[in-house]
């Protein structure tokens, strides 16, 4: 008898359901948003273009395991594998929420319950629901049923390291299914893929240990703690050795730059704590209240309480170090878990409130579930095929094509940057289904998509304001480069071409990318490309 007999069915079903959920959810095309940072090291290792000499590609890699995955897929030359890996992770997420819902549900008709919960989860996560919500009310409200606070999330538009947070959700589920050692392994696995999950994995593991100690199983709890320490040691050692402080002063200055200049929308509570955030917190509290007294309620409640206490501590101390640990990031697990809990309670109440679910009623509910799932699938496929989601303006497409076709090894492009807006606001959420804003050809502010410059062209650049390093001395160098870029473009706007050329020469730049409205007629600048939005000037060798 084949050892795989009896397993092919569940595996095939998992793959099929993951694929269908992925179609409804949709993905953005490569390379989008955070991929431009997190794919850079991996593509540079794979020999893509001249990225191996790009400054940022030679900084400390914050996600080496993910970069290894990117390198392996790049070497295969099959870009569709990036989408396939994300579909598998979407499947883990989807099935974790379904299993979590079944932990909440009673024994009444489990198959009908699971099918109905699947329909609600597919709909609430679907591109169709998000697209319709934005077009009707001007806001992507379904997003807030899955996304956490501070513009952070597990799932997003594309494959990236944060997506491996699905293993934390799976960890919670298997712990409640009385598989504690697997739960510890999955928690550490998520933290190994993305170190920003170390705090959440630590809190979850500590919760598991304390709960087993309360059950009188101290020996088992001790083994769980030892297993966690052994498994997490390589990730912690890498983080300490690679990103430890050069000096206390540089470490503090780098933290301040990250918190207050580069990612305040993720790191400063005042930037994200608005009415929507408070409603999300209330949603979590409602879910925990509905399952109080259960093992799942204890786990989610512990994570919720730890997040609140650490957030209050950060507010009281104004600690940049604690802000960069993102204790509110626990919400990226709590929000989708809460959604599954509330949906499950509503479905269970509905099934129990009807005296007899006869065949006709059952068929009606199943038909409604099928219609919901079919609509989400067709809508997701249509939106993806028509490129109606995750859109940029496309103003940079011709520029990127030109650079890709003409760039040579040794070229270094100097592109415009803009300083992040320090004004209080919700900050960034998942770039979603909003139409791109109109572009001003005379503006020097980089449109959203120009962050693709490195990966789309294979050409190294001096700096951009989106993609950043994390080692303290490299953060300071990134900040210096951004300030140099801002200073150079200020000089160009004031017609200080000689001074600007000196700055560019000092930076080692061979080409300057400028807005179309910035015409340069000066020695040392040769106009080699122009369109409605951009110009490219080559710095002539005799003047560099």
What does the buried/exposed string (b/e) look like for 423-450 if buried means 16 or more CB atoms within 10 Å of the residue's CB? eeeebebbbbbbeeeebeeeebebbbbb
Start-to-end CA span in the chain (Å): 73
CA distances from 191 to 54, 228, 233, 236, 516 (A): 28, 11, 11, 9, 44
Phi, psi of 180 (to 5 degrees): -65, -35
Tell me the range of 228-232, 260-264, 540-544 where mean pLDDT is highest.
228-232
Confidence of residue 421 (pLDDT cuts 50, 70, 90): low
In this predicted model, what pLDDT tens digit does every residue of 438-456 receive, in sequence order?
Answer: 555 554 444 545 789 999 9
C-beta atoms surrounding 22 within 10 Å: 21
C-beta atoms surrounding 519 within 10 Å: 12
pTM metric for this prediction: 0.92
Angle, alpha carbons 515-519-522 (nearest 5°) = 130
In 3D space, the residue among 236, 141, 227 whose CA is nearest the CA of residue 197 turns out to be 236
Specify the 3-state DSSP secondary structure of 81. Answer: helix
Confidence of residue 139 (pLDDT cuts 50, 70, 90): confident
Least confident of 23-37, 275-289, 394-408, 447-461: 447-461
C-beta atoms surrounding 238 within 10 Å: 17
Whole-angstrom Cα distance, residue 394 to residue 88?
A: 30
In this predicted model, what pLDDT tens digit does every residue of 36-46 receive, in sequence order?
Answer: 999 999 999 99
User: What radius of gyration do the chain's Cα atoms show?
Assistant: 25
Least confident of 29-33, 240-244, 533-537: 29-33
Q: What is the pLDDT of residue 535?
A: 94
% pLDDT > 70, the chain: 91
In this predicted model, what pLDDT tens digit does every residue of 246-301 receive, in sequence order?
Answer: 999 999 999 999 999 999 989 999 999 999 999 999 999 999 999 999 999 999 99
């Amino acid at each position: 008898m084949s050892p795989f007999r009896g397993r092919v069915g569940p595996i095939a079903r998992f793959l099929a359901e993951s694929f269908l959920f992925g179609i409804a959810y949709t993905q953005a095309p490569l390379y989008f948003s955070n991929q431009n940072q997190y794919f850079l090291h991996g593509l540079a290792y794979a020999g893509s273009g001249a990225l191996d000499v790009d400054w940022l590609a030679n900084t400390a890699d914050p996600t080496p395991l993910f970069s290894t995955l990117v390198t392996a897929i790049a070497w295969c030359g099959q870009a569709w594998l990036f989408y396939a890996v994300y579909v598998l992770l979407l499947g883990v997420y989807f099935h974790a929420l379904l299993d979590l819902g079944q932990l909440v549900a009673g024994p009444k008709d489990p198959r009908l319950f699971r099918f109905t919960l699947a329909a609600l989860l597919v709909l609430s996560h679907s591109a169709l629901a998000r697209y319709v919500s934005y077009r009707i009310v001007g806001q992507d409200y379904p997003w807030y049923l899955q996304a956490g606070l501070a513009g952070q999330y597990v799932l997003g538009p594309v494959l990236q390291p944060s997506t491996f947070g699905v293993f934390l959700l799976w960890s919670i589920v298997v712990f409640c299914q009385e598989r504690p050692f697997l739960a510890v392994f999955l928690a550490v696995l998520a933290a190994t893929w993305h170190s920003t999950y170390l705090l959440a994995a630590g809190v979850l593991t500590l919760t598991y240990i304390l709960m087993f100690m309360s059950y009188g199983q101290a020996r088992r709890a001790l083994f769980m703690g030892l297993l966690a320490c052994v498994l997490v040691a390589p990730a912690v050692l890498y983080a300490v050795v690679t990103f430890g402080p050069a000096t206390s002063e540089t470490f503090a200055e780098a933290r301040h730059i990250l918190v207050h200049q580069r990612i305040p929308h993720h790191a400063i509570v005042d930037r994200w704590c608005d009415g929507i955030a408070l409603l999300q917190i209330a949603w979590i509290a409602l879910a925990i209240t509905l399952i109080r007294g259960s093992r799942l309620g204890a786990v989610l409640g512990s994570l919720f309480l730890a997040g609140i206490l650490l957030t209050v501590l950060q507010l009281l101390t104004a600690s940049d170090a604690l802000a960069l640990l993102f204790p509110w990031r626990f919400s990226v697990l709590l929000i989708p878990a809460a959604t599954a809990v509330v949906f499950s309670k509503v479905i269970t109440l509905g099934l129990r409130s009807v005296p007899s679910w006869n065949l006709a009623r059952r068929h009606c509910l199943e038909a409604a579930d099928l219609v919901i799932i079919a609509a989400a699938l067709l809508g997701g496929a249509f939106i993806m095929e028509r490129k109606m989601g995750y859109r940029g303006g496309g103003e940079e497409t011709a520029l990127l094509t030109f650079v890709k076709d003409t760039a040579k090894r040794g070229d270094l492009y100097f592109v415009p940057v803009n300083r992040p807006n320090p004004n209080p606001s919700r900050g960034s959420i998942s770039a979603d289904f909003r139409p791109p804003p109109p572009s001003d050809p005379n503006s020097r502010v980089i449109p959203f998509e120009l962050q693709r410059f490195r990966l789309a062209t294979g050409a190294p650049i001096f700096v951009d304001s989106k993609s950043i390093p994390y080692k303290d001395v490299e953060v300071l160098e990134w900040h210096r480069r951004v300030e140099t870029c801002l200073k150079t473009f200020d000089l160009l706007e004031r017609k200080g071409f000689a001074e600007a050329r000196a700055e560019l020469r000092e930076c080692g730049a061979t080409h300057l990318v400028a807005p179309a409205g910035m015409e340069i007629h000066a020695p040392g600048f040769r106009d080699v490309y122009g369109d409605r939005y951009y110009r490219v000037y080559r710095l002539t060798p005799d003047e560099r």
